[in-house]
Structure 1
């Protein structure tokens, strides 16, 4: 009961803007809520530019070891030896797991890197807890490689990661007698079908769970073995200085910030109870309004992850010019304690790396016919759904001015000028005495517009549709006299609108879920076509699940001979770690 109560308290606190006061920090940190830990299964520990790092993010309850249902967003970063962050990804977590990928650019330097993964929940309190993985990158396109290859190469220093078994030593065909990989044979020709079976021998359902499946060529270029779901540690950094609180992201992506006043006049209205509007354009555009606290702070959640990065924030009201909006940075970790070994490779590796690079360049030249697919979640709509009145202006006589459009096409909407400041009004269906004092919510290409004169002065021939709602609309702390939503033909009104009092920024959005390309040579025409196949990654399935006692998996080999590792990592419903490995050979 205590655990459920504390989760509800945190969820409630996450809804309160400006919870970041000192007393609130201490209260949040002392709540007896279960901690989390993270494991990341990634496809390889060695990459060159042009290749893709694929990964699966697992978030577990540290006490029960089951996948966590608390955090809805995870973070994964690639850090170099100088402690620079090469990329930072947000991962949408669904029942404790998510996925992502990173295309290695040609600008990246050769060296050893660290993959760091965590949730906000893991860095709340006096300690930072995170997953740390090793990754080596060699860039053959850079000239300064003299320190990379050495004829007097010696093994790296003994570290916990280096003492892990090699892929062939990690071979495992069962977990507690419940799961096993079964292959009819282990020798295959090029472009041939591989059919493996994962047997589920348990009489109960505890072997079902969430898993990721990788099939990749084994290369001794991977100088630092990777952790598995069964042997990964959690790195702990103790904090010695004050730190900002990080609220757990229990409902979705958390965005927080504050407003600052631009004036020191005594007549300023202050920072309390100001309304901040966040607009995200796109087909399914989004709007959220939130009030600030006495310190000018605000916090809001984005439950949906399918948004574009571009974001607009503004303070509502006639005095909006007095304020500046500052967004809090995403959570970060102190990397001063990270230790990196220099990357040294024997001279004999040069030819293999060059061959590796040639394979990748050929594959990339055929990306148009080997594309991944984005998972589609169905048709999406703006935050208000579908408004009852929709006017497609191409179906009517075109007029240059918006005033003519309202007179001839869109009835009961007018332009009213008060003191030289024109504004839009909706007429009718408002009988309440207070209705006359309200203004409509005006959206243009998904962005809230306070200065109505900008759309009034806009060339109406560039407007595609107008949607109208003639009833009161409640949006957070604000009440509007209906909605008027404009969509321009170019869909880029926010590029020409005045943004004097609007913060136009790009925010990191969670990775999109994908189905990764895997060819099928079952069709004879495809088998005999001229498209080369130099894949080293034969299969990557980040959402592999066991559906019955025997689950079949099919994939096809490529034109590259050698040994390939089949790797399944993940966790059963009861929290048992699974790490299955098998080796096949292509000749």
Structure 2
């Protein structure tokens, strides 16, 4: 009952969605919520070990057939025909869009796989709404060429595609052109995407673009954005039909759920619990434990750690056990796979592609991608705080002595229940409130101040003191003391003594800027080999207020037929799917 009430509250804004087009019998619209669906565009449906599988995801609201703003996280899995999960990626969504990649290792078997995409909220619906891409993987180091093998009916000639060269936008008014049809090695190519639409918005929307060598090996059909949207049916969920196992939508970022029990194995309740991310002061969250011992955290920013730290505010954490619940995983046992094995006539192509891949991997450091880490925010950013760089002072042995000697407006007092605690004088008033300050050590909340009194000050780089009141979620603090160490403090000692609880987590996929090779007269004759088969991958092209877009790329030393594939959707929800071919001689 409480879960349904929670879902009612967080989805109330969605209750006003007009569903007249989807179910004329729906009268109680406060009981319904949208259903999401995912479309996945990959750079290829045939991938070799030693290559990257790139993918771009589009999360849709099935009622509007536009990108969804509901979920802020998506999950992508690669499933083998035996049901094994090869990987699961956590993808942050921004306005329904996200992307990542997977380097295919040499320990995967040749075979048929499925790339599956979903959100937490989608797990309350049918598997048909999940993104589902058929991927064939060839491992040339374990391949067995079987003359009697039969390729599945889902495999088509590489010259065929599903709905390509169709643009479902106002009678083909979007055009993709290449400056010419034949290129030489290491030559510049220019893609022009334009529209005849006189509307000032042009073809505003979100797109992904791949330029890749065409393999002569047959590969699974690729679902176009047009075919996807044409088969997408409006759907909704009745909240009243959800039970206590319903999956919550991740509206405000990644959702963490856990349970606290006392030493007698009964559920704890009414406690405040914190979650800290090392060196990420802005991600500190504090939640209230409910009557079932459950707590929830929403984290809406990037983080780069594989562990988090829990503390129970003003309680001895050794008196409790904390369990962080694993992420929900859908039942994918009903997935159907096709037979796939290598054929003798593919031998030359397999050898050539393997050689290209080995050479490219050997020189990967010269063409590496760049990670986008965003603007790392600090808890006190934009606030008026005092900074003490300890290199500017005569160091004292302990933190307590350091505070006493030269950090102003902060003192140490003894509490009957908590022992020694730090106290920060408020800005503009001298009255002691009795409210403790927030204390962070390298981004981790230290609730038991006693543990820091004798901490070796030689390890500390700087101390920041904030004197105004501070509220983090449900918890009020009188000021803050943020301590940054020189090389990071030893958390093992704190863990061994039970000062806080550590839990392992999966890190979301980092956003990347994919490498774009460029040539001019200075490097065109470089002896550095260039056997790129993927000439360009742009997973997240946002077009705003333009009728023409030009994109440059450069060919490599690989000759043959290449394919340009553009997929995406306009802001009005219209699909765009265009394919164009060219040659490198």
TM-score bin (small chain): 0.7 to 0.9
Aligned pairs (5 A) from 1:12-51: 31-51=31-51
- CA displacement at 1:334 relative to structure 2: 0.7
Contact 1:471 1:482 in 2 (8 A): yes
Looking at structure 2, the residues matched to 155 and 427 of structure 1 have their Cα atoms a distance apart, in angstroms, of 72
Looking at structure 2, the residues matched to 190 and 397 of structure 1 have their Cα atoms a distance apart, in angstroms, of 64
Aligned pairs (5 A) from 1:83-98: 83-98=83-98
Change (3 A) 1:484 1:423: farther
The answer to whether structure 1 residue 141 and structure 2 residue 138 are counterparts is no
Change (3 A) 1:402 1:10: closer
The answer to whether structure 1 residue 341 and structure 2 residue 346 are counterparts is no
The answer to whether structure 1 residue 190 and structure 2 residue 185 are counterparts is yes
**Greater shift in the superposed pair: 52-61 or 105-114:** 105-114
- CA displacement at 1:29 relative to structure 2: 12
Looking at structure 2, the residues matched to 452 and 151 of structure 1 have their Cα atoms a distance apart, in angstroms, of 72
- CA displacement at 1:378 relative to structure 2: 3.2
Identify the residue that residue 395 of structure 1 maps to in structure 2.
392
Aligned pairs (5 A) from 1:305-320: 305-320=302-317
Contact 2:216 2:349 in 1 (8 A): no
Looking at structure 1, the residues matched to 385 and 276 of structure 2 have their Cα atoms a distance apart, in angstroms, of 22
**Greater shift in the superposed pair: 470-479 or 362-371:** 470-479
Three-state SS of the structure 2 residue aligned to 1:368 is helix
The answer to whether structure 1 residue 360 and structure 2 residue 361 are counterparts is no
- CA displacement at 1:375 relative to structure 2: 3.1
Looking at structure 2, the residues matched to 356 and 32 of structure 1 have their Cα atoms a distance apart, in angstroms, of 51
Contact 1:424 1:452 in 2 (8 A): yes
Q: Which runs of 5 or more residues in structure 2 are unaligned?
A: 1-5, 15-27
Q: Which runs of 5 or more residues in structure 1 are unaligned?
A: 1-5, 15-27
Looking at structure 1, the residues matched to 30 and 55 of structure 2 have their Cα atoms a distance apart, in angstroms, of 33
After superposition, give the CA deviation of every residue in 1:181-207 in whole Å (9 maximum; x if it has no partner): 123421111111111211211222363
Three-state SS of the structure 2 residue aligned to 1:345 is coil
Identify the residue that residue 502 of structure 1 maps to in structure 2.
500
Looking at structure 1, the residues matched to 499 and 41 of structure 2 have their Cα atoms a distance apart, in angstroms, of 44
Contact 2:271 2:312 in 1 (8 A): yes
Identify the residue that residue 23 of structure 2 maps to in structure 1.
none
Three-state SS of the structure 2 residue aligned to 1:87 is strand
- Pick from 562, 568, 581: which aligns with 2:579? 581
Three-state SS of the structure 1 residue aligned to 2:451 is helix
Identify the residue that residue 56 of structure 2 maps to in structure 1.
56
Identify the residue that residue 409 of structure 1 maps to in structure 2.
406
Identify the residue that residue 23 of structure 1 maps to in structure 2.
none
Contact 2:155 2:218 in 1 (8 A): no
Change (3 A) 1:442 1:493: farther
Contact 2:211 2:562 in 1 (8 A): yes
Identify the residue that residue 67 of structure 2 maps to in structure 1.
67
Looking at structure 2, the residues matched to 12 and 259 of structure 1 have their Cα atoms a distance apart, in angstroms, of 29
Identify the residue that residue 3 of structure 1 maps to in structure 2.
none
Looking at structure 2, the residues matched to 132 and 215 of structure 1 have their Cα atoms a distance apart, in angstroms, of 22
- CA displacement at 1:386 relative to structure 2: 4.9
Q: Number of residues paired by the alignment? A: 555
Contact 2:258 2:323 in 1 (8 A): yes
Three-state SS of the structure 2 residue aligned to 1:312 is strand
**Greater shift in the superposed pair: 185-194 or 320-329:** 320-329
Identify the residue that residue 561 of structure 2 maps to in structure 1.
563
Aligned pairs (5 A) from 1:49-448: 49-124=49-124, 129-142=129-142, 145-146=143-144, 149-156=145-152, 158=153, 161-162=154-155, 166-167=159-160, 171-172=164-165, 174-175=167-168, 176-204=171-199, 205=201, 207-232=203-228, 244-263=245-264, 271-382=268-379, 386=383, 388-417=385-414, 422-429=419-426, 435-448=432-445
- CA displacement at 1:352 relative to structure 2: 2.1
Looking at structure 1, the residues matched to 420 and 447 of structure 2 have their Cα atoms a distance apart, in angstroms, of 9
After superposition, give the CA deviation of every residue in 1:353-391 in whole Å (9 maximum; x if it has no partner): 232122112112222221212235335223665551111
Three-state SS of the structure 2 residue aligned to 1:196 is strand
**Greater shift in the superposed pair: 107-116 or 461-470:** 107-116
After superposition, give the CA deviation of every residue in 1:272-300 in whole Å (9 maximum; x if it has no partner): 21111110112555211010111111222
Contact 2:151 2:340 in 1 (8 A): no
Change (3 A) 1:169 1:302: closer
Change (3 A) 1:309 1:385: farther
Identify the residue that residue 490 of structure 1 maps to in structure 2.
487
Identify the residue that residue 25 of structure 2 maps to in structure 1.
none
After superposition, give the CA deviation of every residue in 1:3-32 in whole Å (9 maximum; x if it has no partner): xxx999325799xxxxxxxxxxxxx99831
Identify the residue that residue 21 of structure 1 maps to in structure 2.
none
Change (3 A) 1:9 1:420: closer
- CA displacement at 1:394 relative to structure 2: 0.9
- CA displacement at 1:541 relative to structure 2: 0.7
TM-score, normalised via structure 2 length: 0.87
Looking at structure 1, the residues matched to 207 and 576 of structure 2 have their Cα atoms a distance apart, in angstroms, of 8
Looking at structure 2, the residues matched to 320 and 288 of structure 1 have their Cα atoms a distance apart, in angstroms, of 17
After superposition, give the CA deviation of every residue in 1:34-72 in whole Å (9 maximum; x if it has no partner): 221110001011222322111111011212211112111
Three-state SS of the structure 1 residue aligned to 2:403 is helix
Looking at structure 1, the residues matched to 298 and 485 of structure 2 have their Cα atoms a distance apart, in angstroms, of 28
After superposition, give the CA deviation of every residue in 1:239-287 in whole Å (9 maximum; x if it has no partner): x9977211111221111222122226xxx8x622111111011255521
Change (3 A) 1:319 1:241: same
Change (3 A) 1:201 1:274: same
After superposition, give the CA deviation of every residue in 1:376-425 in whole Å (9 maximum; x if it has no partner): 53352236655511111011112222233123221343344557975332
Looking at structure 2, the residues matched to 164 and 530 of structure 1 have their Cα atoms a distance apart, in angstroms, of 35
Contact 1:74 1:93 in 2 (8 A): yes
Change (3 A) 1:493 1:358: same
